[in-house]
Chain A
Amino acid sequence: MTPTPGSVGRTGSDGGLIRRFSPTERALHWVHASAFLALLATGLVLYVPALSELVARRPLVKDAHLFTALAWIAALALVVGLGDRPGLRRTLGEIDRFDDDDLRWLRGRKAPQGRFNAGQKLNAVLTSSFALLFAVSGLLLWLGERDTRFRFGSTLLLHDALMYASVGLLVGHLYLAVIHPTTRHALRGITRGDVRRDWALEHHRTWAERARSPGP
């Protein structure tokens, strides 16, 4: 049953599976996703009046929010420290560079895309920028409660605005990853690492044409 080269297509008309995300990338994604949801949940209790009243234990929720944030940063550092850093650097390079096809795609035209399409690159850029801004404004809120020099009238506003913007991004992201019929196959890539080659050729042609199947 050893497949001969080029015969992966035996699994059906899909042409087999190709690997899209490394374990390091997946770990980074899920660390960030779970931390975001935990921070959102505790943050909303601190922010939404009806929830603040319902839950009431504000000091406890505040601590939970704070420690989740610390755990989030520590876990991200751990994944980067222990994971495939050269791989992450290459990923960063992919997200950084926009080619002519990306620009065409952003203008709403059909154009072959890499492993990340231009929208996914933008999502990654915004998500990481928001993460940094969340961390900075959160740190300032914490410091400001302890020292006048770190107290700014706009810190809370920035933290809140980031929440609204991030939830907006998340809603779009979840729609495309879980609901939209033609794109939701991508969910397999971020959970199990591989995607169908025919799907990849349709949505990420530039990358799929060069990508190899996962090992034998």
Chain B
Amino acid sequence: MAAERGDPSTRTYGRRAFIAVTAFGLSSLLWGRPLWDVVSRGVQPLSSALPEGLVPSQGWRIYTVASSMPSFDPRTWRLKVDGLVSQPHSFTYAQLRSLPRTEQVSTFHCVTGWSVADVRWTGVRLRDLLSIVRPRATARVLSFVSAEKPYVDTLTLAQASLDDVLLAYEMDGKPLPRAHGAPVRLVIPEMYGYKNVKWVERIVLEHDAVPGYWEQRGYDTDAWVGRSNGL
């Protein structure tokens, strides 16, 4: 064995390759994401040619916390807006869609490191909804309660009043798919995906709110993209 090891015609390429590949892989924790952002623009046409849902071709991954996804029945579905408001409301799907319609194109960022560029959202500006229910002076926080129990997340009144904060009922020109929160999800592109509550069925205005689902698990309440969660 010792003689073989000393044999000049054999080289310990195995361990060297192991170390090189492992080091390369570990170093990608530093440069993987910036590189991917450049490369993915190049492969975008290629990957979007694949059938939808086969690979995360458009970049979407479907994250859920409950054992089943809520299903949407337009006849029974309601969006309740209550709490510290002068005019509590319960909107049907048709009523919600008859409110002033707005559209935006934005990038969706997940805190786990994936993003989807140029998503076209259509829906109701949250500010417009608030002008209907009229928050009381004591209201500070909005809780967005999902039909997917026990998911909930919050925004301050100031955050919720930003220009591009929507309750979206369409995505890329089509009714919001079930996996993306049908019929209505919150969209706040300035914040990571976990603030963009899917399957919203109730909005409660409060003075103090219970922390959201992921906030209870250590994530930041103010989830600004690039300026929170240690990223």
- A contact residues vs B (CB 8 Å cutoff): 46-50, 52-53, 56-60, 90, 93, 95-100, 121-122, 124-126, 128-130, 132-133, 136-137, 140-141, 144-149, 151-158, 161-162
Contacts and interface: CB of A to CB of B under 8 A. Distances in A.
B15 to A, nearest CB: 5
B175 interface: no
B75 interface: no
Contacts of B113: 152-157
Residue in A47, A50, A121, A122 whose Cβ sees the most chain B Cβ within 10 Å = A50
A215 B18 CA distance: 35
B32 A148 contact: no
Interface residues of B, number: 50
A162 B230 CA distance: 24
B33 A129 contact: no
A167 B140 CA distance: 50
A53 B31 contact: no
Contact of A122 (B5, B17, B179): B17
Given A96-B14, A126-B17, A148-B218, 10 more contacts: A52-B64, A56-B67, A97-B12, A97-B14, A129-B17, A146-B217, A154-B29, A155-B29, A157-B32, A158-B28
Interface in B18-37: 18, 21-22, 25-26, 28-33, 36
A58 B56 contact: no
A41 B113 CA distance: 22
B10 A146 contact: no
Contacts of B69: 53, 56
A99 B10 contact: yes
A47 B113 CA distance: 13
Contacts of B112: 141, 144, 155-156
Interface in B37-63: 52-56, 60-63
Contact of B231 (A130, A136, A153, A162): A153
Contacts of A129: 17-18, 21-22, 25
A152 B68 contact: no
B9 interface: yes
Q: Which 9 residue pairs of A and B lie closest in terms of their CB atoms, listed nearest first?
A: A50-B53, A148-B230, A154-B32, A96-B14, A52-B62, A154-B33, A133-B25, A129-B21, A98-B13
Contacts of A58: 62-65
B163 interface: no
A1 B96 CA distance: 89
Contact of A136 (B11, B12, B26, B31): B26
A13 to B, nearest CB: 33
Nearest to A46: B61
Interface in B177-210: 178-179
Contacts of B28: 154, 157-158, 161
16 contacts: A48-B55, A49-B56, A52-B61, A52-B62, A53-B178, A56-B68, A97-B5, A97-B12, A99-B10, A129-B21, A146-B218, A152-B29, A157-B32, A157-B114, A158-B29, A161-B28
Given A59-B67, A133-B25, A148-B230, A47 B10 contact: no
Contacts of B11: 97-99
A59 B18 contact: no
Residue in B7, B12, B29, B36 whose Cβ sees the most chain A Cβ within 10 Å = B29
B4 interface: yes
A151 B68 contact: no
Contacts of A124: 14
B12 A96 contact: yes
A145 B30 contact: no
Contacts of B111: 151
B14 A56 contact: no
Contacts of A149: 230
A53 B14 CA distance: 42
